Amino acid sequence: MFEASAHRLPYVECTPDGRNGGLNFVCVANEVKDYPTWIIGGRRHVGLVSVDKLATLSGFRWSADGEPEQ
């Protein structure tokens, strides 16, 4: 969904050892039970969220040429 920009996301893998492995502490502490879960500004958003909606929720601004504003 994010293509080449995925590396820029503050991403946490909840099950780093696979489906039957233990949960990452950050996910346990934040009570993440469903994937994907987005926590933006202290609010929880569960499920697929469009890129445009994520930009709105996070306050991200696009420039006219499609690049992030500085």
Mean pLDDT of the chain: 87
Judge residue 23's burial from the number of C-beta atoms within 10 Å of its C-beta, 0-12 exposed, 13-18 middle, 19 or more buried: middle
For 21-60, write each residue's pLDDT tens digit: 899 999 999 999 999 999 999 999 999 999 889 989 999 8
Cα separation, 18 vs 13, whole angstroms = 10
Rg (CA), the chain: 14
Domain boundaries, given as residue ranges, for the chain = 3-58
pLDDT above 80: residue 11:
yes
Supply the pTM of this predicted model: 0.74
pLDDT category of residue 65 using cuts at 50, 70 and 90: low
C-alpha 20/C-alpha 15 separation (Å) is 8
Name the CATH topology of 3-58: Glutaredoxin (3.40.30)
pLDDT of res. 68: 64
**28: helix, coil or strand?**
helix
